[in-house]
Amino acid sequence: MGSEEYRVRGTAIVFNSPTVITEIDGIKYCEVIDRHAFDECDLSDVIMNYNHGGKVVARLRNRTLQLFITDRGVDIEADLGGTTAGRELYEEIDGGYIDKMSFSFTVQSEAYDRDTHTRTILKVKKLYDVSAVDIPAYNETSIAARSFFTEEYAKETAAVENARRRKRLILLTY
């Protein structure tokens, strides 16, 4: 992928995490994405955009978007520097105005539990997009503009500061 300057990372899909999709007459209807729902999914050309619309800001086909299927969900990494819309979206993510994700897909197989009012997506046929969104269906999703190295630097700095504090506390106790 291109530059680090406009790189974002996030979690677009979270597995095995029930979320309320709608509430009708006080009954909450939930949806869960099974851990193996993407095992046979068509991931041939997924795009990234904003709120499932507008201009494409990254995509698998031109390698500005990468997907990583983990035990927790589907993580993304994208270079938003290639388009004006992408750079603008990056600034909104970096500023904290947009910090969640969503996805659009077609279902291959599903199950429904009438007792718990829960739809379980067992197999996704095709994933069309992963989007940075204002209001997600799944609140556990996230997207951030901090690079891997920025995150590692923050961890290292925190570890050094914690070591200094411990040393000061030890000196104060003697």
Residue 117 reports pLDDT greater than 50: yes
What number is the average pLDDT over the span 3-29? 89
For the chain, how many helices (H) and strands (E)? 2, 10
CA distance 124 to 105: 7
CA distance 129 to 46: 5
Residue 46 reports pLDDT greater than 70: yes
Confidence of residue 148 (pLDDT cuts 50, 70, 90): very low
CA torsion angle 148 149 151 157 (round to 10): 160
Average pLDDT over the chain, rounded to whole? 88
Domain ranges across the chain: 7-146
The CB-based long-range contact list for 151-158 (8 Å cut-off, 24+ gap) reads: none
**Nearest CA among 104, 109, 94 for reference residue 144:** 94
| C-alpha distances in Å from residue 95, one per residue of 5, 106, 130, 146, 165 | 14, 32, 20, 11, 31
| pTM recorded for the entire structure | 0.78
